[in-house]
Amino acid sequence: MTDIFLILVGAILVNNFVLTQFLGLCPFMGVSGKVETAIGMSAATLFVLTLASACSYLVFHYLLVPLGLEYLRTISFIVVIAAVVSITEMVMHKTSPLLYRVLGIFLPLITSNCAVLGVALLNINQAHSFAQSIYYGFGAATGFSLVLILFSAMREKLSQCDIPEPFQGAAIAMITAGLMSLAFMGFSGMV
Amino acid sequence: MATSFFSVFPALVNPVIALLGMGLGIGALLAFVSKTFRLESDPVVEKINELLPQTQCGQCGYPGCKPYAEAIASGDSINKCPPGGEKTILNLADLLNLKVLPLDESYGHEETKKVAFIREAECIGCAKCIPACPVDAILGAPKFMHTVIESECTGCDLCIEPCPVDCIDLIEVSQGSLSSSQAMNDEEYLACINCGLCIDECPVDILPHELYWACRGGELEQAESLKLMHCIECGKCDKICPSHIPLVDFYQSSKLELKLQQQERIKAENAKQRFENHQIRMAKLDAKEEYRRNKRAELAKQDRQQTSSESIKAALERVKARKK
* Interchain pair A97, B217: CB under 8 A: no
As a whole number, the mean pLDDT across chain B is 85
ipTM above 0.90, yes or no: no
Q: For the segment B265-305, what is each residue's pLDDT rounded down to a tens digit?
A: 888 888 888 888 988 988 999 999 999 999 999 999 988 88
Q: For the segment B230-243, what is each residue's pLDDT rounded down to a tens digit?
A: 999 998 998 999 98
Instruction: Measure the CA–CA gap between A52 and B188, rounded to whole angstroms.
Output: 57
* Interchain pair B19, A72: CB under 8 A: yes
Predicted local confidence at residue B170, as pLDDT: 87
What DSSP assignment string belongs to A116-163?
HHHHHHHHHHTT--HHHHHHHHHHHHHHHHHHHHHHHHHHHHHTTS--
* Interchain pair B213, A160: CB under 8 A: yes
Predicted local confidence at residue A130, as pLDDT: 92
Which chain A residues touch B216 with a CB distance below 8 Å? 160
The shortest CB-CB distance from B39 to any of A87, A93, A102 is to A93
Please give, rounded to a whole number of angstroms, the shortest distance from the CA of A56 to a CA of chain B.
12
Chain B: residue whose CA lies nearest to A104: B97
Going from the C-alpha of A130 to that of each of A22, A117, A118, B312, the distances in angstroms are 25, 16, 16, 98
What region, left, alpha or beta, does residue A189 occupy, with left being phi > 0 and alpha being psi -120 to 50 degrees?
left
Instruction: Measure the CA–CA gap between B48 and B80, rounded to whole angstroms.
Output: 13
Closest CA to A53 of A148, A144, A140, A145: A140
Alpha-carbon Rg for chain A, nearest whole angstrom, is: 17
Chain B: residue whose CA lies nearest to A88: B33
Alpha helices of chain B — where are they, by DSSP H?
Answer: 2-8, 13-36, 44-51, 65-73, 85-96, 129-132, 182-186, 197-201, 208-216, 220-225, 236-240, 247-323
What DSSP assignment string belongs to B244-281?
---HHHHHHHHHHHHHHHHHHHHHHHHHHHHHHHHHHH
Going from the C-alpha of B323 to that of each of A119, B65, B314, B315, the distances in angstroms are 111, 75, 14, 12
Predicted local confidence at residue B41, as pLDDT: 64
Pairing relation of β-strands B147-148 and B138-139? antiparallel
Chain A: residue whose CA lies nearest to B73: A101
Amino acid identity of residue A160, one-letter, is: Q
Going from the C-alpha of B7 to that of each of A69, B18, B294, the distances in angstroms are 19, 17, 77
Instruction: Measure the CA–CA gap between B66 and B83, rounded to whole angstroms.
Output: 15
Q: Is the dihedral of CA B267, B269, B270, B275 positive or negative?
A: positive
* Interchain pair B37, A37: CB under 8 A: no
Please give, rounded to a whole number of angstroms, the shortest distance from the CA of A144 to a CA of chain B.
22
Instruction: Measure the CA–CA gap between B260 and B267, rounded to whole angstroms.
Output: 11
Predicted local confidence at residue A142, as pLDDT: 94
Predicted local confidence at residue A103, as pLDDT: 73
Task: List, as ranges, residues 39-68 from B with C-beta within 8 Å of A.
Answer: 39, 42-44, 47
Alpha-carbon Rg for chain B, nearest whole angstrom, is: 34
Which chain A residues touch B34 with a CB distance below 8 Å? 90
Instruction: Measure the CA–CA gap between B64 and B57, rounded to whole angstroms.
Output: 6
The angle that helices A73-95 and B13-36 make with each other, rounded to 10 degrees, is: 0
The angle that helices B85-96 and B44-51 make with each other, rounded to 10 degrees, is: 160
Instruction: Measure the CA–CA gap between B65 and B59, rounded to whole angstroms.
Output: 10
Interchain contact B15–A (C-beta under 8 A): yes
With bands split at pLDDT 50, 70 and 90, how would you rate the model's confidence at B180? Answer: low
Number of C-beta neighbours around residue B322 at 10 A: 7
Q: What is the mean pLDDT of residues B21-29?
A: 91
Which chain A residues touch B23 with a CB distance below 8 Å? 79
Task: List, as ranges, residues 24-43 from B with C-beta within 8 Å of A.
Answer: 26, 29-30, 33-34, 37-39, 42-43
Q: Which residues of A touch B (CB under 8 A)?
A: 37, 59, 63-64, 67-69, 72, 75-76, 79-80, 83, 86-87, 90-91, 93-94, 97-98, 101-102, 104, 160
Chain A: residue whose CA lies nearest to B17: A67
Interchain contact B218–A (C-beta under 8 A): no
* Interchain pair B26, A79: CB under 8 A: yes
* Interchain pair B97, A76: CB under 8 A: no
* Interchain pair B26, A80: CB under 8 A: yes
* Interchain pair B22, A59: CB under 8 A: yes
With bands split at pLDDT 50, 70 and 90, how would you rate the model's confidence at B186? Answer: low
Predicted local confidence at residue A191, as pLDDT: 67
* Interchain pair A79, B22: CB under 8 A: yes
The shortest CB-CB distance from B18 to any of A67, A87, A104 is to A67
* Interchain pair B29, A37: CB under 8 A: no
Please give, rounded to a whole number of angstroms, the shortest distance from the CA of B29 to a CA of chain A.
9
> Which residue, among B37, B49, B221, B225, would best test binding to A if mutated, counting the most A CBs under 10 Å from its CB?
B37
Predicted local confidence at residue A176, as pLDDT: 92
What DSSP assignment string belongs to B207-258?
-HHHHHHHHHTT-HHHHHHTTGGG-----HHHHH-TT---HHHHHHHHHHHH
Flag the least confident range among A63-72, A96-105, B42-51, B250-259: A96-105
With bands split at pLDDT 50, 70 and 90, how would you rate the model's confidence at B194? Answer: confident
pLDDT at position B188 over 80:
no
With bands split at pLDDT 50, 70 and 90, how would you rate the model's confidence at B102? Answer: confident
Q: Which residues sit opposite B114 in a β-bridge?
A: B172
Number of C-beta neighbours around residue B319 at 10 A: 9
Predicted local confidence at residue B293, as pLDDT: 94
Predicted local confidence at residue B286, as pLDDT: 92
Q: What is the mean pLDDT of residues B120-146?
A: 88
Predicted local confidence at residue B10, as pLDDT: 77
